[in-house]
Structure formats: C-alpha cells, structure tokens
A and B are shown apart, each in its own frame.
Chain A
C-alpha cells in the first residue's frame, strides 16, 4: 500500500470508526433540563423531619412505606431493602452522652451522584427535584449504589415475595431502587406515605412540601427553625432537612 492509498483508507476507517463511536453521543445531546412550562416545573419537593418529635418505639413511616411501595423484605440483612429506615445514633464523646433516633432515606439531592454515574440514564432527577429510577431501563450495574455517599440505594438481589399494594408495581430482581418521595402519590396531590402515616399514627414529625414556595410548611420550618442536612459538606445539596440533628 502506498502513502496515498494509506491516507485514503485511513481516513475512511477513521471517519467510520468516529461515526460509529459517536452515534450514541447523539442521543445524549437531547436536553435533560427542565422545561419551564412542563407539568412538574415550578416545584422543588423537600422534606423536613423533626427528630425531637420522632417517638422511639414508633415505626409508622417505615411500615407505611413498605406497604405502599412493595419494598422487598426477605428477613435477611444482606438483601432487605429499606427506602426509609430508623436508626439510633449515640455520641462517641462519653462525657456528653447524646442518643437520638434518626430517619434515613434518599435525600433527593439537587446534585445527585447516582444520576451522574448511571450509564443508561435510568436514574435521573425530575424537573420537580425527585430522583427516580426507570425500572424498565435499569441494567442493574449498581454503580449508583457505589456513588451514593449516604448508602440510601438498594438492589433487588432476589425476587420480591410479597406484593401488598397491587396498585403499584413491584420491581423485578436485577434493578436498583431507592425512595421516590412517593412520586406517584405526590403527582396526584397527596403526601408521601411516610409523611401521611406519621401525621395520622405518629407524632406529626414529618413535613413535605414545595421548597420553592416560601409559604409552604417546609419553607417556613427551614426559615424559622435551626435545620441541618446530613453531610452538607459533600456538596450534594440534599433536600431532606432535620430539626434536632
């Protein structure tokens, strides 16, 4: 092959290869940003949890979530999924003993690392700030679980044996998931199951609402009370605020 032929064939090969490799990029050119007039625009959902009101023996939120969302429970800590969980934390400093209950759930971060790393864009942040997983697209690579610094994401390692809420799908094994702020309830004007359960059966420690509305309950709580988010220094901008943390 002489130089001219090499240049010709080389250019064709290079063009072909770049084209083939570049085709997938075209799909990512589609804007993922919010449309100003879309149905979910104008709202930024957030939650405020008052840990001082959270009763130690109450599990209303946890039970309501599991029943509403068909969250898998195998009685095995290796594979059990907890969209919301209650933990007890104690201070390491024994001279100042503090013990409290904390509710841990997906923080629906404004800068979600899970959405950043999902190779198929199955995990994404909606225009209203809720981070969800498209379970028909998820390939189960679990990179989102690696990326989440809060350990708030779980994987369906085995088939969910129960289906308490037939009006809501249950996930097949092989996909990742986390709390959705009950987006299916929120979209029809209701409150997330945990918040509703806390209000009726618990102590009303949870508030959910629009952070962009200065008159919403959550906005007023954040403005009036000393609130804190978990590890704000990570820069994820979580949207779950705690009073009394």
Chain B
C-alpha cells in the first residue's frame, strides 16, 4: 500500500495563532524557571516534606506518553502492520518530543541549573536511578532520530531493526522511570509492581494520545482519515492496555492493603485524603472503567467521536495516576516509631498537604508550549503527515 507523506502548508491563521501562543507559553515558562533559579524554589508549592511535585509528575507523564506513541509506531516498523504506516512518522516524532519534554520538566525542577548540565555527566553514579535514567532518555532520543531517518528513507530492514530497538529501549526506559520510585524505601513507593504498572499506564496514555493527535491533525489539515484505523487504535490497542493498567492497579493496592506492614499506608492511599478522590473518580472510574466500557461496547467502540472521548478520559486519568505515584507517598509520613505517634515537633511530622503554586504551573505550561511549538514546526518542515490514511482492504 503506497502511503504518501507531505508537509503541512502551515500558512493558515489557526496555525500561526497556535505557534504564537505556544511560543508565548514557552517564553513565560522560561522566565518562571529563571526567576526561581535566581530566587529559590520556595516559590513553588514544594516543601521539605514534599520535595517533588508538579514538575516531576509532568516529567513522568511525558515520558510515559512517549512509550505509547512508540509502540503504535513500532507496530508498523516491527510487524509490518501496514494499517499503522500512516501514523508511524508522527508517532516517532511525538515520542521523541515527549521524551525531551520529560527531560525539560526534570531539568527545570533542579535546584542548581548551573550544575545540572555538567555534574551528572562528569560524576555518574551507576547505582542511582536518577543517573541511569537520563542516559536511557538521551539514548532513546538518539534512537528515535535514527528511527525517524529510517522511516523517511523508507529503508525496510533498517526500519525493522530501528523500530525493534526503539520499542525495547522504550520498555527499558519506562521500567527505569518506574524504578526511580520503586527502588526507594518509602511505603507508598517501594513496590516491585510499580515499574510494570508504569509501563502499562504509559502504553494506555500514549495510544490514547496517538488517537487524539491524529484525529485532530487530519481534521485540521482536511486530510481523509479512515474510521477503521481509529477503531483499530482504540478497540485493538487502547482497550487492551487499559485492562492491563486496571489489573496492575488492582494488584498493587490489594497487596499493599493486605500486608500488615503496609496496610496503614495502603488504606491512606485508597481512602485517606483528596488524593483518594483523584484515584477512585479520576483514575479508576473516568480514566479506566468508563473508557474501557465505551471501547468494548460495539455501538460506541466503532464510533470515532466516542473513541476520541474515551481517549481524552484516558489521558486525563493517566495524568492523575502520575500525580498519584509522586505525591501521596510524600504527604504520608514514614512510621518511625511503630505503636507510637509524634505529638509535637518543629516540623510537620504527620500527613501534610501539597498545593501547586502559580510559578510551578507556569513552568509546566512552558514545557508544553516548547514541545507543542516544536511539533507544529516539525509538521511544517518535515513530511510527517500522510496525505490520507486509508484502511487496507
């Protein structure tokens, strides 16, 4: 099946407006980062009890999105599934950009921006997940570049090899990202299920985003997109990823709540605060169950508009899930004295609260702006989008 790719014209008013808005967000975010670098991170909502917050949650969200995009792209590259060929280039480019977004989010969160580009490379720590992962991410970006190049040159064998490498490397990267949290002795972090559950949610959110991006792009560029392709992405891929994610969540929380040692923390996560609402309503109901039902039911699962709606729910659900990985484990205190409780202290020793600050939100929007700008620019200067996407007979 011959698929033709063409650059986006990129001269329309909506295009230019989007570019200006995104560039503006990027600039504002850069300023916010610089301002915090000069004056201190106290301008964020983070505290000594909650040292990681919005930026790290967004970082792992972006990194997770890149996995799902790559798997969609890889389905064409590895298995020669021709129906996914139209999406392969956009998916590979987006995956690369999401990884960069993750790196940017982490970068802007550091206390000493003047050292962050030097020290991690001159003083590597093989035992630290935070040291291993940036190497995985940079390697991943390089492999994405090679993979995109292979796709452009339509090199069959190189595409197969590059796409296999990139998918395997992606699984490694996302396992590593989950390990940042899982390999640390905090009650709500320490879990061998966290890395695979992270990968499962990554695949869900990435597949959902692929659906959203492609439907939006094709409609905006007025290029035909066959319904069957969207239905394949939704019912064949996304629905399965959702079920796996739900299964992982179930086992993780059952395990934590069952064992005496982690029960208090497990029940705090499930029922102990506002985050519990985010979990049950945001992640489980809106982010997993409702989309899964919509996708599996024939009437809604074969309608592009319903699939798009389900995809939006999934992306939002996974955003909540990333936040739920990072923050509840920090607002819940460690049990230093079993059987005792700390009744007075100069610091907050019990359950604390975390709320994002305006500069933090600005930083996060800035990263989104930079990546969005790069994506739209890529569409204009590279033949990423197919002229049409038809289902194979």
Contact = CB atoms under 8 A, between A and B. Distances in A.
B122 to A, nearest CB: 6
Given A17-B142, A87-B345, A173 B185 contact: no
A151 B49 contact: yes
Contacts of A90: 340-341, 343
Query: Which of A88, A142, A155 has the most chain B CB atoms closer than 10 A to its own CB?
Result: A142
B305 interface: no
A231 B127 CA distance: 23
Given A151-B49, A157-B46, A28 B128 contact: no
Q: Which 5 A-B pairs have the closest CB atoms?
A: A140-B111, A174-B111, A157-B42, A158-B40, A24-B124
Nearest to A90: B343
Contacts of A203: none
B13 interface: no
Contacts of A99: 343
B330 A17 contact: no
Interface string B331-361: 0011111111111111111000000000000
A174 B46 CA distance: 13
Q: Number of contact residues on A: which range applies?
A: 35 or more
Contacts of A138: 111-112, 115
A12 interface: no
B265 to A, nearest CB: 12
Given A113-B185, A157-B46, A119 B120 contact: yes
Which of B46, B112, B185 counts the most A-chain CB atoms under 10 A from its CB? B112
A27 B344 CA distance: 45
Interface of A: prevailing SS: loop
A173 B111 contact: yes
A146 B184 contact: yes
Contact of B111 (A86, A142, A234): A142
A132 to B, nearest CB: 15
A175 B51 CA distance: 12
B126 A175 contact: no
Contacts of B244: none
A236 B345 CA distance: 24
A79 interface: yes
Interface string A83-97: 001111111110000
Contacts, number: 192
B345 A85 contact: yes
Contact of B131 (A87, A98, A119): A119
Interface of A: 1, 6, 13, 17, 21, 24-25, 27-28, 77-82, 85-93, 98-99, 102, 104, 113, 116-122, 137-143, 145-147, 149-151, 154-159, 172-176, 230-231, 234, 236, 245
A92 B340 contact: yes
Size band of the interface chain B makes with A = 35 or more
A173 B41 contact: yes
Nearest to A1: B155
Contacts of B338: 231
Interface in B269-303: none
Contacts of A173: 39-42, 111
A122 B119 contact: yes
Contacts of B146: 13
Given A141-B110, A155-B48, A28 B119 contact: no
22 contacts: A1-B158, A6-B157, A17-B142, A25-B126, A28-B126, A77-B348, A78-B47, A82-B346, A88-B344, A89-B340, A91-B340, A104-B336, A117-B184, A118-B125, A119-B130, A120-B131, A138-B115, A141-B109, A145-B51, A149-B186, A231-B336, A245-B337
B166 to A, nearest CB: 13
B375 interface: no
A87 B124 contact: no
B123 interface: yes
Given A81-B48, A85-B346, A146-B51, A156 B111 contact: yes
Which of the listed residues A89, A122, A140, A146 has the most CB atoms from chain B within 10 Å of its own CB?
Answer: A146
B124 A25 contact: yes
B121 interface: yes
Given A88-B344, A90-B341, A146-B186, 4 more contacts: A89-B342, A92-B341, A139-B115, A157-B47
